Chain A
Amino acid sequence: EDKVVQSPLSLVVHEGDTVTLNCSYEVTNFRSLLWYKQEKKAPTFLFMLTSSGIEKKSGRLSSILDKKELFSILNITATQTGDSAIYLCAETSGSRLTFGEGTQLTVNP
């Protein structure tokens, strides 16, 4: 059975801190890994990762995939209160996406 595990489940930081969110996976035929940000509404797409070692970057957010060790990280530098959200990762190998439990990030002023 495909499995995606995120850590930590919850994280509280101060504005300006840098955070690293983790996502590990166990799947039979890996295809891609997705990161989403969810505030109090539908998840919004952040990154899609298919190749190992290639960093994807968007402003203060970046993500990278390690297909040998079966994990991905999402980095957020110089965090802002607007970064407070649930961050979800999902793997797309099957007919359905397999989501992790999410990391609840809270950025305090």
Chain B
Amino acid sequence: DGGITQSPKYLFRKEGQNVTLSCEQNLNHDAMYWYRQDPGQGLRLIYYSQIVNDFQKGDIAEGYSVSREKKESFPLTVTSAQKNPTAFYLCASRRSFTSNEQFFGPGTRLTVL
């Protein structure tokens, strides 16, 4: 079964702690993306990667970090520098950065207490 998996589905953390969100895809897609969504709002791009070992900042990268050591994996770390990390985080992928369609994972809802 091909697709994008994100884990965990729900995550609770104390303020000041770093936390890493997992995103794995078995679609053999080159490009991967991380978005943040706040209640009732659209998607804001955090980071994206067009190819292994390369990634670019999106519109709201401050307080976040990523790595892309393997094609199928694109983990996102929410650091203590992120002032308001409570949000819904979505991972997505495309076959390549020139492809039209983008596929989404199920999302991780992060709550910082």
Which residues of A are interface residues toward B (Cβ below 8 A)? 6, 10, 31-32, 34, 41-43, 45, 48, 50, 86, 88, 90, 92, 94-97, 99-102, 104
Contacts and interface: CB of A to CB of B under 8 A. Distances in A.
Interface residues on B, range: 20 to 34
Contacts of A31: 98, 100
B41 A95 contact: no
B105 interface: yes
Nearest to A4: B42
A83 to B, nearest CB: 16
B25 to A, nearest CB: 13
B44 to A, nearest CB: 8
Contacts of A94: 97
Given A95-B97, A100-B42, 8 more contacts: A31-B98, A41-B106, A42-B90, A42-B105, A50-B100, A95-B31, A96-B33, A101-B42
Interface of B: 31, 33, 40-43, 45, 48, 50, 56, 58, 90, 97-102, 104-107
B42 A42 contact: no
Contacts, number: 54
A61 B56 CA distance: 36
A48 B101 CA distance: 8
A95 B102 contact: no
Nearest to A87: B42
